Amino acid sequence: MFTGLVEGVGRVGRITPQGPDAVLIIAPPWELGETVLGESIAVNGACLTVSKLTPQGFAVDVSAETLSRTNLGRLRTGGSVNLERSLRLGERLGGHLVTGHVDCVGSLLRIQPQGASYGLEVGLPSEHLRFVVGKGSICLDGISLTVNQVGSGSFGVNIIPHTWQATALHLAKQGDSVNIETDLIGKYVARLLNRDEDAPGASRGLSSEDLRRMGY
């Protein structure tokens, strides 16, 4: 579990294809000795497991599924990635609950300076846009952000100067792809309201009887 508060920007040292999968070597912004074999690290918001430690950085295995659902397959040697180590119980939850399970890849439609900050418009497939609400939380390339507004095929967020400089966003260009994880709670609520519609004999959504039984 993560919070969406990026610890720093890492550098991709090597990318080794292995059939449909790949192995990434990433140089972290912290001392390599602080990295533990087997720990989880969010790389651009995707939860990956440290499989090996090398003098150049830590290695992570990236499956074909992850490559197909994230922008990690578009990385190049020397590229920059947002990194966050997993949350320890008892620590402050400064962002929001982030699983590191990327829902889809969005597109940066617009990057607009707004005073010292930046406004981003991000395009998102409609099946995922339904989980995005104004003033709700969303994770963009591993960064916990607040949604400013939601359009018919996109949403907008504001990036303060610190976040802009402390993450790889300052290297982003219009048209770039970004990993999106929508709000965890919203997805579970939506699932409960549209219960097992593929299950034989299952009803869809909540009935008035369901609401009475729950005390409403």
Instruction: Report the pLDDT value the prediction gives residue 11, as an integer from 0 to 100.
Output: 98
CATH number (domain holding residue 121): 2.40.30.20
32 plus 69 within the same structural domain: yes
139 plus 168 within the same structural domain: yes
74 plus 110 within the same structural domain: no
Residue 98 lies in a domain: no
Residue 112 lies in a domain: yes
Residue 96 lies in a domain: no
Looking at residues 99-127, what average pLDDT do you find?
A: 96
Alpha carbon of 135 to those of 25, 27, 107: distances in Å?
Answer: 36, 34, 20
User: pLDDT tens-digit profile of 20-55?
Assistant: 999 999 999 999 999 999 999 999 999 999 999 999
Residue 18 lies in a domain: yes
Q: Which residues have C-beta within 8 Å of that of residue 10, sequence separation ≥ 6? A: 26, 27, 28, 29, 43, 57, 80, 81, 82, 83
Give the helix, strand, coil percentages of the chain, each rounded to 5: 20, 40, 40
Q: Is the pLDDT of residue 173 over 50?
A: yes
Residue 37 lies in a domain: yes
118 plus 163 within the same structural domain: yes
Q: Is the pLDDT of residue 185 over 90?
A: no
16 plus 75 within the same structural domain: yes
Model confidence band, residue 192 (pLDDT cutoffs 50, 70, 90): confident
16 plus 76 within the same structural domain: yes
109 plus 175 within the same structural domain: yes
Residue 208 lies in a domain: no
Model confidence band, residue 93 (pLDDT cutoffs 50, 70, 90): confident
Q: Which domain holds residue 56?
A: 8-85
Q: Which residues have C-beta within 8 Å of that of residue 109, sequence separation ≥ 6? A: 121, 122, 123, 154, 174
User: pLDDT tens-digit profile of 67-83?
Assistant: 999 999 999 999 999 99
User: pLDDT tens-digit profile of 117-158?
Assistant: 999 999 999 999 999 999 999 999 999 999 999 999 999 999
54 plus 129 within the same structural domain: no
Residue 97 lies in a domain: no
Q: Is the pLDDT of residue 199 over 80?
A: no
Domain count, the chain: 2
174 plus 140 within the same structural domain: yes
117 plus 47 within the same structural domain: no
Residue 197 lies in a domain: no
